[in-house]
Structure 1
Amino acid sequence: MNGGPVLARRFFVCEGIMAKEGQAEEARSRSSEIDALKSAAALAIRSGKPSIAVQNLRRVVALDNQDASAWLNLAASLRAVSEPAAAIDAVNSAIALNPRHFLALLLKGSLEEQQGERHKAARTYGAALTQLPPDDRMDEPTRRAVIKARSVHHAYTTELQSFVLQEVGLGDPSANSEARKVSLFVDAILGKRRIFRQQPTAFEFPGLPAIEFYERSEFAWLSTLEAATPVFQRELAKVMAHDEGFEPYVAYPDGAPLDQWQDLNRSRRWTAFHFYHYGRRYPANCGRCPETVALLAQLPQPQVAGRMPAAMFSVLRANTRIPPHTGVANVRLVVHLPLVVPPGCGFRVGNETREWKVGEAWVFDDTIEHEAWNDSDEDRVVLIFDIWNPRLSASERSMIAEVMSAMDRFNEVSLSPESQL
């Protein structure tokens, strides 16, 4: 009595299997057709017959409109047969499937430029350049296209920058700090300036701004410091004459991860004559440079046992570079006063590169990536010391010092230079 329903179920199961097999066969057939069409299109392109490539690729995207590469090849072929509007439609289909498709963006920029839409092309080129692959992964025609893209994009951003600054009546960006900040703001919008963040290796106090080089006007004592340059130079000359008391600035112990400090670890290519190092006073060195120490005592150096202050003559030997790195804490800033500077020396903090000039000090945030170099054949010497960040109130400074000290007491940490780099 149950034979009828059982047979019926078996029939429907078999029918379902046959339907699936039919669909699979249809998919295989479509795939084979697509492969054949792509091969024919590739042959047509190599043979200089773009119109035939267009015919084949249009059939490909009709069969599979989710193939970004097919849309891109169709766009290139349409451009070759002088159908720029259709080419842009095709490349837009590729970009819709993959908005970060480097070659599609590059081709779209070229098509827009060909259409006379220079500003639009420049913006598209800009998007393409953000997806730039390594140079060794590009063929020669692509490299040439990238050079063109950079040129068009650079010209556009330069013109736009000039227009905007003129429209807002900014004038000379170096005239005052407000004008300089607005100019940097525009640079950042246009992608002409990389955004660097504070990256302290240990302590980050909230709310402190990421300023590469601080304005001189925030430090009334800078001119007094600079006026004492001959004093520092005189005491420096005495200690350098005997070359005693200088020690490698980078001094990691065995087994420590060296990273970018591999070449300078325990090296005398970068040495320091310390007056204070992580809060520890060097009595012998201080005794040899009493006037330098007396002048430093008048400055707002942070006082945290085992942590701060720091003050030293920093000697960078000939043909030596200090790799990009960041400092320990944003609660302090670092002051440089150049004392001996041969040609070929430089210093970068974030986006800004400066040349040291003897007797001209600057203040910077060392938690922003920075690096230094001495490409000369002589030593470069700078007086370096830290100060409290001026944006901290007296009570904040006191509490910061208490927090750091409490943490060290809890951990019973014996701080050393290598733990602070």
Structure 2
Amino acid sequence: MPFQQVRQGMAYGDDPDLGQLIEALPPSGFRNLLEAGWRFESDGESRTAAAVYRTALQAIPQFLPPSTRAVLEHAKGAVDANDRALETFLQESLAAVRARHGNARLDRFDKCVDTLLRKRRVYRPSPSFLYFPELPPVEFYDRADFPWLDALDAAADDIRAELIEVLADGPEVLEPYMAEKVPQTRWQELNNSRRWGVFYLWRAGTPNAENLARCPKTAAALEAWPKCDLLRTGPTAVFSILEARTRIPPHVGVNNARLIVHLPLVVPPGCGFRVGSEQRSWEPGKAFVFDDTIEHEAWNDSDEPRAVMILDTWNPHVTPAERELVTALTAGVGEFYGALPDYIAGSSA
């Protein structure tokens, strides 16, 4: 049926302006999708229309006239309504199968459903320096892969006490975590600022003997830490202090062959952390592991500082041979440049 004829017999709200707005768009696959969705919707096939609109919303051109906003809002509304109906339908149709597997771990399947329903966005590793292929794109890793975290948790009270003693010397004891020569726009507010300050225990593969001597129980707890040995870039271990009313903007780390460990130490209410689509609250004394090459951000909306100990460690899916080669590769890049560029050194919340 020709587009003009469909518009004359509209049944989706009697809004001829929408059809005119679609027609006014420059010819493209995007406009064709919108026309098809509008045509199905006009014929009362709302589910098919929503599926077509969904495809159109995934292919929005970079430059569109402002008048397109009404069309996009309509398409999104149709998709949202369909997703809500689909969610209700799936809850009912899957109930019996779920009941048969009531004792099984279903968190991955739940994330799959949330992604299908557009309640969860898909994030993938996007390291700023080194991408190691065929590693699982996991936001937060299972602690079972890191049994040594139990000992770190057990030492959390002692580590916290030593950190508080260090901080008693005043803010000058901390260094700005961000100190880029040519900062990206997102870092301008935090660059060379102690609002995100750190106290280095290990820095780019070298232990800070003076700082470790000030924190002997922390140093002892780190002896069991399986260090990510990357010549001149790792391992690194720091106390990370995020001042009150401070946010670390969304960003990615440098190398997905390594992972990042957080041991929360001082966490006032109002602090949060997001990796990809998953948001978590820090629980003092309970370490977790995440892939910092997936977009992540942190915030402290409280009136007090937040303190976390940050470590790096190897991704458990990287073999010993691959680890040695990644170390040599990183060292070779550093040798080529003569000094480590910011995009290799990187940062993590």
The normalised TM-score by structure 2 is 0.82
Q: SS at 2:127's partner residue?
A: coil
Give the Å deviation of 1:339: 1.1
Q: SS at 2:273's partner residue?
A: strand
Equivalent-residue separation in structure 2 for 1:173 and 1:109 (angstroms): 38
In structure 2, the residue matched to 1:394 is 320
Q: SS at 2:49's partner residue?
A: helix
Say yes or no: does 1:118 pair with 2:46. Answer: yes
In structure 2, the residue matched to 1:413 is 338
Q: SS at 1:360's partner residue?
A: coil
AA of the residue aligned to 2:162? E
AA of the residue aligned to 1:411? F
Given the superposition, is the C-alpha separation of residues 152 and 271 from structure 1 closer, same or farther in structure 2, using an over 3 Å criterion? same
Equivalent-residue separation in structure 1 for 2:11 and 2:186 (angstroms): 53
Residue number among 208, 229, 242 corresponding to 2:135 in the alignment? 208
Say yes or no: does 1:252 pair with 2:216. Answer: no
Say yes or no: does 1:233 pair with 2:160. Answer: yes
In structure 1, the residue matched to 2:112 is 185
Give the Å deviation of 1:237: 0.8
Residue number among 240, 253, 257 corresponding to 1:314 in the alignment? 240
Q: 1:64-95, CA deviations, whole angstroms, 9 ceiling, x for partnerless residues?
A: xxxxxxx76x358514699x9xxxx9999999
Q: Which has the larger radius of gyration?
A: 1
Task: Report if the CA contact (8 A) 2:135-2:317 is conserved.
Answer: yes
Equivalent-residue separation in structure 2 for 1:287 and 1:187 (angstroms): 48
Given the superposition, is the C-alpha separation of residues 336 and 136 from structure 1 closer, same or farther in structure 2, using an over 3 Å criterion? farther
In structure 2, the residue matched to 1:340 is 266
AA of the residue aligned to 2:231? A
Given the superposition, is the C-alpha separation of residues 80 and 335 from structure 1 closer, same or farther in structure 2, using an over 3 Å criterion? closer
In structure 2, the residue matched to 1:198 is 125
Equivalent-residue separation in structure 1 for 2:26 and 2:63 (angstroms): 24
The normalised TM-score by structure 1 is 0.69
Q: Give the CA RMSD over aligned residues.
A: 3.8
Equivalent-residue separation in structure 2 for 1:166 and 1:221 (angstroms): 42
In structure 2, the residue matched to 1:101 is 31
Equivalent-residue separation in structure 2 for 1:156 and 1:358 (angstroms): 41
Equivalent-residue separation in structure 2 for 1:360 and 1:148 (angstroms): 45
Given the superposition, is the C-alpha separation of residues 183 and 80 from structure 1 closer, same or farther in structure 2, using an over 3 Å criterion? closer
Give the Å deviation of 1:385: 0.6
In structure 2, the residue matched to 1:30 is none
Q: 1:116-164, CA deviations, whole angstroms, 9 ceiling, x for partnerless residues?
A: 323123223324444388999138xx64x65554343223224434544
Say yes or no: does 1:262 pair with 2:167. Answer: no
Give the Å deviation of 1:304: 2.6
Give the Å deviation of 1:295: 1.0
Larger RCO (alpha carbons 8 Å, 6+ apart): 2
> Matched residues, percent identical?
38
In structure 2, the residue matched to 1:68 is none
AA of the residue aligned to 1:251? A
Given the superposition, is the C-alpha separation of residues 135 and 174 from structure 1 closer, same or farther in structure 2, using an over 3 Å criterion? farther
Aligned residues: 339
Say yes or no: does 1:137 pair with 2:66. Answer: yes
Give the Å deviation of 1:216: 2.0
Alignment of 1:5-404 (within 5 A): 74=4, 78-79=8-9, 98-101=28-31, 105=34, 109=37, 112-113=40-41, 115-130=43-58, 131=60, 137-138=66-67, 143=70, 146-147=72-73, 149-161=75-87, 163-164=89-90, 167=93, 169-170=97-98, 179-243=106-170, 244-253=172-181, 256-404=182-330
Given the superposition, is the C-alpha separation of residues 417 and 295 from structure 1 closer, same or farther in structure 2, using an over 3 Å criterion? farther
Q: SS at 2:29's partner residue?
A: coil
Given the superposition, is the C-alpha separation of residues 152 and 412 from structure 1 closer, same or farther in structure 2, using an over 3 Å criterion? closer
AA of the residue aligned to 1:230? D
Q: SS at 1:100's partner residue?
A: helix
AA of the residue aligned to 1:101? R
Equivalent-residue separation in structure 2 for 1:290 and 1:359 (angstroms): 18
In structure 2, the residue matched to 1:15 is none
Give the Å deviation of 1:176: 5.7
Structure 2 residue ranges without an equivalent (≥5): none
Give the Å deviation of 1:262: 1.4
Equivalent-residue separation in structure 1 for 2:130 and 2:154 (angstroms): 33
AA of the residue aligned to 1:212? E
Structure 1 residue ranges without an equivalent (≥5): 1-70
Give the Å deviation of 1:185: 2.7
Task: Report if the CA contact (8 A) 1:249-1:271 is conserved.
Answer: yes
